[in-house]
Structure 1
Amino acid sequence: MSLAIMFILLAVLLVCGAPVAVALAGSSLVYLIIAGMPPISMLHNMINGVNSFPLLAVPFFIMAGHLMNTGGITVRIFNFARALVGWLPGGLGHVNVGASVIFAGMSGAAVADAGGLGNVEIKAMRDAGYETGFAVGITAASSTIGPIIPPSLPLVLYGVIAQVSIGQLFLAGVVPGLLMAVALMAMVAWYSHRRNYPRDRAFSLSGLGTASKDAFLPMMTPVIIIGGISTGLFTPTEAAVAAVAYSLVLGLAVYRTLTIRHLLRVTMDTVETTAAIMLIVGAAAVFAWILTANQSAQHLGNFVLGFTDNKYLIIFMMMVLVLIVGCFMETIAAITILVPVLLPIAHTVGIDPVHLGIIVILNLMLGLLTPPVGMVLYVLSRVSGVRFEECVKATAPFLIPLLIVLFLLAFIPQLSLALPQLLYR
């Protein structure tokens, strides 16, 4: 009964628009009081939930993304992508996707991609005569590549909760991220053929060379991160620190686009974002602890396995569950709550936890493109000046290629497991 009240209260708070951390912590506190447990145990579990060395990577990856945005790195990346694929029909649509792939190796967050590159991309596409809806839709869809291609904040959190190698998770995201890019570029090509969208510019080796030179140092960021982790030079947490140090060198010494005022603003933005994430992680840790204490994962597992023991049907059921939750709950909270529930079921039917991580994160990224939460849509609505409802309508067609990739990854595990198995033999 107490557990039912907790879930009902959580749903009511979320529907009423309460912050996710408040909804999770408030419903958990009510459960503890009804169950006659000391409220102080809530604080203990919140502290234990954030007391993790790998979680130190979160503020550093956030700061690296902010530094890249503030230091003008996004413009260099966009110009390189423009020189590389702008000659294709519907050129700026392809540039949009290509820039997101490159920026994904630096920020690790969809909202950072949408906020940083979105302003540049949408303005350029509007100026070139593209429909605003098309520009918003492809920008929103391509931003979901950010948390799949390493580094990835959601994958860091998943690795901490599931106790899975973050290095393997990062490598597992490379091929899926590239598949997402290919699928979205195919969608752009189809739109371009139907609407006769123009090429952005003729291909030029000299132009590509100039753009490559300007963007070479920023594009070394993912090389440093992935190379350092895969060779054992540093851990994912240390890689986040290296990314910040490298971003500071680029902004302060190489390009000289960062000032003390910029650094103060970046630091404050990082603190604010990190504090919000950690509050959610801490509150969700209490919620997950209550579910674990009530053996909710075991009960759900027994129910699912009593219904079917078919591995692929169970994967499909998981996908539907995560997709629904992702539509209503913020990514960080959803990961913290869902993973302890899904992981035992995955172990029982032989689903690799690394494979599960990619499926869960990509599912939740689709939630960023759907109401009522849809954080990416809210960001792009503000950036583009387009109403939220119109952003939803514009983005909907681009969910099709992403769903196709999701199903391919879910039912062909080697697409995500081949690279980590090769390098972590």
Structure 2
Amino acid sequence: MWQSLTRCIAQESKLLEWLTTLYPAWAHLTGHDVYTACKLAMAELILSGCTTTSDHLYLYPNDVTLDDSIRAAREIGIRFHPTRGVTSLGLSKGGVAPDSCTEDEAACLSDMHRCIGEFHDNSRYSMLRMALAPSTCFNVTDELMVSTARLARRHPGVRLHTHLAETEEETALAQRICGCGLGEHLRDVEWEGEDVWFAHCCFLDKAEVQQLAEKGMGVAHCPSSNLRLASGIAPLKALLRAGVNVGLGVDGTASSGSGHLLQEARMSMLLQRASGSAQAMGAHDSLTMATEGGARNLGRNDIGKIAPGFAADIVAWRMDALGFSGSGRDPVAALLFCTPSVGLVDLSVINGHTVVQDGQLLTLNLQSLIKEHRACSERLCQHLPSSWRAGGNCSASPL
């Protein structure tokens, strides 16, 4: 969520070049930046129909702590699964991040213990549950992967998350560093299990897809980010056919450019149809991924649907809005087929509390938040490579 401060940077770069462009700015993140960025990202999610989210905070420079994102979630009223991420291997140790963006692994594990103890709530309808999340298998040691898995499994409801097989280049790098295939490495570091979900998974072979299915591991599909960075397209049909649970993610809002969850559901539907089959994925299938699939990735059996015994998480759109006109034959499918003109939710109830009414967020002053967010972004972006500091490096002339 902190990435919402650095949108539209490195527009023609793929993942690794995009990361190296942005790390100089991210190295200057403060706790206030993260708090502000998370609150704005959460506002985008809520206004696009999201009631429950996770966030992968894997950089902790300066005074940044996971507490910053948790405070934002509690104030805005979203159901939250924060992940205590970690990046420990910098450039000097064969990783991708600058050394200034890395942490000591022993200190990370200690803070993971703290976060679980202070914040994790495994009760039904819980508003906050923890997960542990090394950024990638090649940005931390195998020893830390094993330690996080064992720590999580000592605490009911604490889950495991990381990025996996996002791009061909990253997948090849991971295999070179790990010295084996991704599936074998997951076994070696004890990361097989129903308590694990991965982001992306664009480049899995058949054996790895089957491994995910057999071990009950989940995938967060991030279509807009994968398209924006020219990463690839996750083999959704193969994953679903094998029985892998798939949910949706907006990924970082510097790579997708938006925190609009409904837009991701629409994109996932249309992207599968690019294969030439209009039956490849329907609107109702994609919405099921966005709701029930996302809930299962987070280990929840109390959210994701409107039914007796489930949490009172409800969102609604006015059917007399401009973009819905003419869609009365299937108003549910219209949420995806008409998304660009439908816009934002009119009502959001999270855990029985009204958070959005008549299209207005009730838990914060949105204009004040945007003003503060822009100020944080301006300060941070002064640390980007010179070609991007003044908002430049665009190949087209401004209109």
Settle same-fold status: TM greater than 0.5: no
Which one has the bigger strand percentage? 2
Flag the structure with more relative contact order, 1 or 2, with Cα contacts below 8 A and sequence separation at least 6.
1
Normalization by structure 2: what TM-score? Answer: 0.25
Which one has the bigger helix percentage? 1
Normalization by structure 1: what TM-score? Answer: 0.24
